[in-house]
Amino acid sequence: MILGIWDGHDAGAAIIDGKEIKVAVNEERLTRRKLDVGFPKESIKCCLEYLGLKPSDVTDVAACTSDFSKTITRVFPSMKDKYYLLRRRKVYPKFAQNQKNFKYKLTEIGPSYLTRKVSKRFLRKGLNRLGFRNYKMKIIDHHMAHAAGAGFCSGFDKALVLTVDGVGDGLSGSVNIFDKGRIDRISSISAKHSPGIFFEHVTNLMGMRELEDEGKVMALSDFAYKIPDNKNPMLNFFEVKGMNIKAKYSSVRMWKELRKILWKSPPEQFAWMAQETMKKKLVELFRNSLDETGLRDVAWSGGVASNIKANMEIRHLPEVKKWFVFPHMGDGGLALGAALQMNFEKNGTWEYKFDNVYFGPEYSKEEMENELKDNPKIRYEYDKNIEKRVADLISGGKIVFLYQGRMEFGPRALGNRSILASASSVESKNDLNLKIKKRVWYQPFCPSILEEDCKNIFRDCDCIERFMTMGFMVREEFREKMTSVTNVDGSARPQMVTTENDRYRKILESVKKKTELGAVLNTSLNLHGYPIVNTPKDVLDVMIRTRNPYMAMGNYFVELVE
Ligand SMILES: [Fe+2]
């Protein structure tokens, strides 16, 4: 039994036993603070409680990252909040004009014997406070934990594993060979040359939140006109040398250079140049790594792996045979990655069945009913055929909340904490945006589709993608029928639904009977700016606050009383 913990941006915990990922959850879902950075005490408690364990039952703990800045925040936890608030531009850096410089210099310092020792001491303090005793602890390297998530969950025996992110343990990326659990690092990208920080800068300069809104930059880039490479000044910012990336400027200088470009460019053009740069440099890095290693199956992780447009490009390289993106690619997935790595080092375990990410807590029928009863704002009834009822409402243009089973691990709702609407109705999409999600106009929604329909719908359907991590091109004839979930460039980021979620599948099958297309719009069930709901109380609160009239909570059909 191994407990993995991560106590930074999007903190969390996970427990693995043998070949099974038993439970995994992020702190934000429990504290209701988005991307919570605190010590993951609620996540640890939640994991133990779910399995009916006591802290003393845990014999091994895998933590992650021991670079200088992470260690400092462990010694002075109040700095952590401040650091991330600053990093995500939620507070103005009053106390130091030169804060940006300071910040990047600090985060670029890698781990050492001393930082590892201090980190371990303070992590133990946090665990001991929760009642942990007599356990072995190991701190797994940041990029090793990212690589482990991708490698162990890919289902591949041998693969090329890449990680690219902002920064962690002095690095912003790594190239590795995964061979039956053994991960050998063959190249490291220094934190000083970080493609992730480059994209954070772009996000920041566009007035958006770093580490949160990078997807918006990518979405906006679709609306720019294309320019030739020699007119894109950002392409010179990085040089890919073999399996490494070198930046032309320091992090701070890069920010200043980007600001100059922004002055002369409309925002969508600025976003496009950045996206194009990211895509081209990653393609080069992957291509060189594929050539160098001769490997054809690829897995990848790290925050930059959330860039689905770059993913689509890389997946289409003729050199790539099989392709896997770890669904919780950002730092929120580190607790699980660290646990997977420790499980291999200790027990040699490397084969996992990874066909779903329903790793979070779930609530019983009684707990649901306790929340529903005596609430004057709703009425509810038990419905054996709730799937058909939900499908009828969606097909009729209504928005329906779907709450059931174990919460998803990772940023995507995959049918257990989801808001569903018609894939073909622009009105439903606009309604959803106006009343509930409050997204910017250019940010697209994604579909969930019956797996067997995907080959028909997509031009380039070459794999089963259950986790919404890849873009596929929608065939012309389906774009009209899927107008609310197809991007302006004709791509969509689907969840392909196989047999892992019985109720969700039945809903899609019922939708198909009515509309001939087993597809719905699926977006995460949360209030704008808040994490995805966890408990029945959370979801009822969102229903009442957004005044959305319909919800399926397990088999309970819940309606708002006018
Ligand atoms: Fe990371």
| Å from CA of 142 to ligand 1 middle | 6
Tokens in use for 373?
């009863």
Centroid of ligand 1 to alpha carbon of 389 (angstroms): 42
**Range scoring the smallest mean pLDDT among 88-92, 216-220, 245-249, 331-335:** 88-92
Residues 190 and 224 in one domain: yes
CA of 7 to the centre of ligand 1 (A): 12
Is residue 58 a part of any domain in this protein? Answer: yes
Phi, psi of 18 (to 5 degrees): 60, -125
What is the rounded distance in angstroms from the CA atom of residue 147 to the CA atom of residue 77?
27
Residue 18 region, left (φ>0) first, then alpha (ψ -120 to 50), else beta? left
- End-to-end, the C-alpha distance of the chain in Å comes to 50
Helices 77-87/99-107 angle, 10° precision: 120
The 3-state DSSP class for residue 360 equals coil
CA of 330 to the centre of ligand 1 (A): 6
Distance between CA 200 and CA 206 in Å, rounded? 10
Q: Read off the pLDDT band of 96 (50, 70, 90).
A: very low
C-beta of residue 530 within 8 angstroms of C-beta of residue 548: no
146 CA distance to ligand 1 middle (Å): 7
Instruction: Measure 446 CA to ligand 1 centroid, in angstroms.
Output: 25
Rounded to the nearest angstrom, the distance between the alpha carbon of 72 and the centre of ligand 1 is 17
Q: What's the CA-to-centroid distance between 379 and ligand 1, angstroms? A: 44
Average of per-residue pLDDT across 90-119: 72
Q: CA–CA separation, 345 vs 389, rounded Å?
A: 49
CATH number at residue 492: 3.90.870.20
Calpha distance 509→54 (Å, rounded): 42
Q: If you average pLDDT over residues 249-258, what whole number do you get?
A: 91
- Structure tokens, 447: 């579909």
Higher-pLDDT residue of 369, 441: 369
Is there a contact between 276 and 307 (Cβ–Cβ < 8 Å)?
A: no
Residues 286, 369 within the same domain = no
Cα-to-centroid distance, 302 and ligand 1 (Å): 5
Contact between 166 and 172 under an 8 Å Cβ cutoff? The reply is yes
Binned at pLDDT 50, 70 and 90, residue 443 comes out as: confident
**Buried b / exposed e across 19-31, counting CB within 10 Å, b at 16+?**
eebbbbbbbbbbb
Six-digit token pair at 401? Answer: 């909340």
Q: Containing domain of residue 312, as a range?
A: 155-326
Contact between 342 and 176 (Cβ < 8 Å): no
Tell me if 48 sits within 8 A of 59, measured CB to CB: no
For residue 300, give Cα distances in angstroms to 23, 84, 108, 143, 478.
Answer: 22, 25, 22, 11, 30
Residues 169 and 315 both lie in one domain: yes
Residue 235 lies in a domain: yes
Alpha-carbon gap, residue 123 to 137, rounded angstroms: 9
Query: What is the pLDDT, as a whole number, of residue 10?
Result: 95
Residue 127 belongs to some domain of the structure: yes
Distance 109 CA to ligand 1 centre (A): 15
- 249 and 133 within one domain: no
Nearby residues of 295 by Cβ (< 8 Å), 6 or more positions away: 158, 159, 160, 177
- Write out the two tokens for 492: 């969509």
* Residue 549 and residue 422 share a domain: yes
In the 8-state DSSP scheme, what is residue 411? S
DSSP run (H or E) holding 401: strand 400-403
Handedness of CA 268, 224, 212, 302 (dihedral sign): negative
Buried b (16+ CB within 10 A) or exposed e, 253-276: ebbebbeebbeebebbbbbbbbbb
Residues 102 and 161 in one domain: no
Provide the domain count of the chain. 3
What type of residue is 446? C
110 and 47 in a common domain: yes
Question: For residue 166, how far is its CA from the centre of ligand 1 (angstroms)?
Answer: 6
How far away, in angstroms, is 117 Cα from ligand 1 center?
Answer: 21
**Spatial distance between the Cα atoms of 164 and 327, rounded to a whole number of angstroms:** 14
Q: Are residues 478 and 504 in the same domain?
A: yes
pTM: 0.94
Asked if 252 contacts 100 with a C-beta cutoff of 8 angstroms, the reply is yes
Within-domain flag for 353: no
| Each residue's pLDDT tens digit, 339-348 | 999 999 999 9
Q: What is the mean pLDDT of the chain?
A: 93
CATH number at residue 123: 3.30.420.40
The single residue listed with the structure tokens 């499908």 is 391
Whether residue 459 sits in one domain with residue 398: yes
Q: What is the pLDDT of residues 379-410, one digit of tens each?
A: 999 999 999 999 999 999 999 999 999 999 99
Q: Considering only 6-20, 81-95, 120-134, 405-419, which range has the smallest mean pLDDT?
A: 81-95
Percent of the chain with pLDDT over 90: 83
Mapped onto helix, strand or coil, the DSSP state of residue 378 is strand
DSSP labels, 325-379: E-TT-SGGGHHHHHHHHHHHHHH-------S----S----HHHHHHHHTT-TTEE
From the CA of 93, how far away is ligand 1's center (Å)? 23
User: Per the domain annotation, does 389 fall within a domain?
Assistant: yes
Give Dmax over CA atoms of the chain in angstroms: 66
pLDDT the model gives residue 173: 97
Q: Both 551 and 460 in a single domain? A: yes
* Selection from 174, 82, 77 nearest residue 119 by Cα: 77
Shared domain check, 124 and 234: no
**pLDDT per position as a tens digit, 482-508:** 999 999 999 999 999 999 999 999 999
116 found inside a domain: yes
Q: For a pLDDT cut of 70, what percent of the chain falls above it?
A: 96
Last residue of a domain, one of 347, 378, 410: 347
Query: Does some domain include residue 359?
Result: no
Give residue 58 CA to ligand 1 midpoint distance, Å: 26
Q: Each residue of 174-202: pLDDT tens digit?
A: 999 999 999 999 999 999 999 999 999 99
CB 278 within 8 A of CB 258: no
| Rounded-to-integer distance, Cα 410 and Cα 334, Å | 11
494 CA → ligand 1 middle, Å:
25
One-letter amino acid of 320: V
pLDDT tens digits along 254-290: 999 999 999 999 999 999 999 999 999 999 999 999 9
Estimate to the nearest angstrom the gap between the alpha carbon of 454 and the chain centroid: 23
The angle formed by the CA atoms of residues 196, 201 and 203, to the nearest 5 degrees, is 95
How many other C-beta atoms lie within 10 A of the C-beta of residue 143?
32
Residue where a domain stops, chosen among 347, 379, 411? 347
Other C-beta atoms closer than 10 Å to the C-beta of 443 total 15
Q: 79 in helix, strand or coil?
A: helix
Residue 438 pLDDT level (bands cut at 50, 70, 90): confident
HSE-up (13 A, CA, CB side) for residue 416 = 23
In the reported structure, the alpha carbon of residue 483 is separated from the centroid of ligand 1 by a whole-number distance in angstroms of 34
The answer as to whether 356 is a domain residue is no
233 Cα to the center of ligand 1, angstroms: 27
- Ligand 1 centroid to Cα of residue 172, in Å, is 8
SS3 346: helix
Same domain, 45 and 170: no
